Amino acid sequence: MRDPYKILGVRRDAGQDEIKAAWRNMAKVVHPDHNQGDPLAGARFAEIGRAYDTLKDPRKRSLFDSAARAAEAKQNEKQSENTIMAQRQAAREAAIRAKQAQENAERVMEELARAAAQKAAAEAAKQPQQQQQQQTGAAEPAEEMIERIFGAQARTASGGGRTRGFASGKTKRPEPEGTEADRQTDKPNESAKAGVAGKATEDEHAEEAAAATSAVLQPLSLLTSFVRRFTGGAAPVPEKAPDQLAIATVTIEDILKGAWVNVDLGDGRDAGFTLTPGTTEGHTVRLKGQGHKLTGMQRGDAVVNIHIAPHADFTVDGFDLHTVLPVTIENAVLGTDARIDGPNGPLTVTVPAWSGSDKSIRFEGQGLPKTDGEKGDLVVELRIILWEKPDDKVTDLMRIMKNGLFL
C-alpha cells in the first residue's frame, strides 16, 4: 500500500477534520460515476477509501506511523554505514601512502649510511695518492643518488641538472706544484725553490679543507634533494583526514531566534554552533578541525546536516512556512476574517468570498531568515470542511444543483 498521507495529500500531523475533508474532496473528483470513461477510476476510488480507513482509525494510523519511522531509521542507518565504510577506505589509502613514503625515506637513509661508510674508509687511508683520487673522483653526488634510487624523473623533480660547487660534492682538481714559469726556468735559486714548495704545501692544505667541507655538505645536499623530490621545493603538508558527518535536529523557533545548537559527534565528543540566517532543511554547517583524527594527518572537519523537527502548525518549504486554515462552506462562499497563530505572533487572515481549497493567502516576510537579510513568506492554505452533522437544507440544495432542477 502506498503512503496514505500522500494519497490524500495531507501532512503527517494533520487532524481528523483535515483528513476527512481531503478524503471527501478527492472522493468526489475520482468517483466512478463522474469518470465513467476511465477504467482506472474504480481502483483510484478504492485506494482513497483504504487510505482514509487507515488514517481515521487511531490504532491503524499509529501502526502505520511506527512502521514508516522504522523504515526511515533503517534507511538512515544504511546510509550512515555506507559513509563510514567510505571514510575507512580513505583512511586505509592514506595509511598506504604514508607507509610508502616511510619506506622511501628509509632507503635514502640507508644510502646516506653507505656514503658515510665510504667516506670513513677513504679517510682511513692517509696516502697522498688515495687523497688525490678522493678529491678528483668525489663521492656520488646527491642528485645522482636520488636518480639511482627513484629513477630518471627524480633529478628533474629535484630541480633539473646539477649545481656547481661544494653542494654537488665536486672539488677543484689540484694543479701541479709550481707555475708554468717555474717549470720553464731552472734556476739554482734555493730561496725560489723554497717559495714554490711553500706555495704547493699551502695549495694542498686548501684542497684538503675543500674536500672536508664537501664531505660535510654532501649529506645536507642529499636531504635537500630528497625533500624536493617529494614536495617540489615546498615544505611537506600533511594530508587531511576524512570529514565526520553528523545530524542536528532543530525547531523552527530555534532558527527564528538564531539559537545555539549542540550536536553529538560520537566518541563522547560534541560541538556547538549558532544558527545563522540562511539555515533551512538540508542546510550544512562545516566545523573546522572537529572531524576524524588520524596519526600523521591533519584533523578533518565535522559536517553537520540540519534537520527541522516536525511542527504542530507549520511545515517548511525552503524559507517559506506553510499552514492550513479550515474554512466552513458558508465562510468559503461568503468570505470571512479569521485569526491564526503566526511564527511571530497572531495574524488576521481575510478569506475572500467564493474561496476554494485551491486558494492560498501569502504573508510576506513571515518565514525563515535568508542570508541576504530578507525573510521567506508565510503561506496560509485554505481547506473547506463540512459541518459535523448533515444539514437537510444544504443536502436538498446540493441535490437540486446536481440534477439541474430550479424552483
Quick one: pLDDT at residue 42?
A: 79
CATH number for the domain formed by residue range(s) 240-310: 2.60.260.20
State the average pLDDT over residues 241-255. 92
Burial degree of 116 (CB within 10 A; 0-12, 13-18, 19+) = middle
Long-range contacts of 344-347 (CB under 8 A, 24+ apart): 344/256, 347/378
Residue 171: predicted pLDDT: 43
Model pLDDT, residue 305: 93
Range picked from 14-28, 63-77, 233-247, 321-335 for highest mean pLDDT: 321-335
pLDDT band at 183 (very low <50, low <70, confident <90, very high): very low
Nearest CA to 368 among 254, 249, 282? Answer: 254
Q: Is the pLDDT confidence value at 204 over 60? A: no
Q: Is 73 left (phi over 0), alpha (psi -120 to 50) or beta?
A: alpha
Letter string b/e over residues 41-68, b meaning 16 or more CB atoms within 10 A of that residue's CB: beebbebbeebbebbeeeeebeebeeee
Class of domain 315-403 as given by CATH: mainly beta
Do residues 318 and 376 make contact, with C-beta atoms less than 8 angstroms apart?
A: yes
Is the pLDDT at 12 greater than 60? The verdict is: yes
Q: Is 216:119 a contact under the CB 8 Å cutoff?
A: no
Taking residues 189-214, report their average pLDDT.
49
Q: Cell digits for 121?
A: 674508509
Residue 242 confidence (pLDDT) above 80: yes
Q: What is the pLDDT of residue 307?
A: 94
Cell digits for 291? 572531524
Give the span between the Cα atoms of 261 and 274, in whole angstroms. Answer: 6
Chain segment 350-406, per-residue pLDDT in tens: 999 999 988 999 999 999 999 999 999 999 999 998 888 888 888 888 888 887 755
Q: Which of 305, 324, 181 is nearest to 243 (CA)?
A: 305
**pLDDT cut 70: percent of the chain above it:** 70
Closest-CA residue to 16 (of 58, 51, 50, 45): 58
pLDDT band at 243; cut points 50, 70, 90: confident
Q: How many Cβ atoms from other residues are within 10 Å of residue 299's Cβ?
A: 16
Q: State the DSSP code for 370.
A: P
**Rounded to the nearest 5°, which phi and psi values hold at 284?**
-115, 145
| CA–CA gap between residue 247 and residue 263 (Å, rounded) | 7
Tens-digit pLDDT profile for residues 115-167: 877 777 777 765 555 555 555 555 555 556 656 665 554 444 444 444 444 34
- The reply to whether 315-403 shares the fold of 240-310 is yes
Give 252's pLDDT tier (boundaries 50, 70, 90): very high
Domain boundaries, the chain: 124-231, 240-310, 315-403
Mean pLDDT, the chain, integer: 76
pTM (two decimals): 0.45
Tell me phi and psi for residue 149, to 5 degrees. Answer: -80, -50
Residue 67 has pLDDT above 50, yes or no: yes
Reported as a pLDDT band with limits 50, 70 and 90, residue 88 is: confident
Q: Where are the beta strands (DSSP E) in 209-335?
A: 244-250, 260-266, 269-274, 284-287, 302-308, 315-317, 320-328
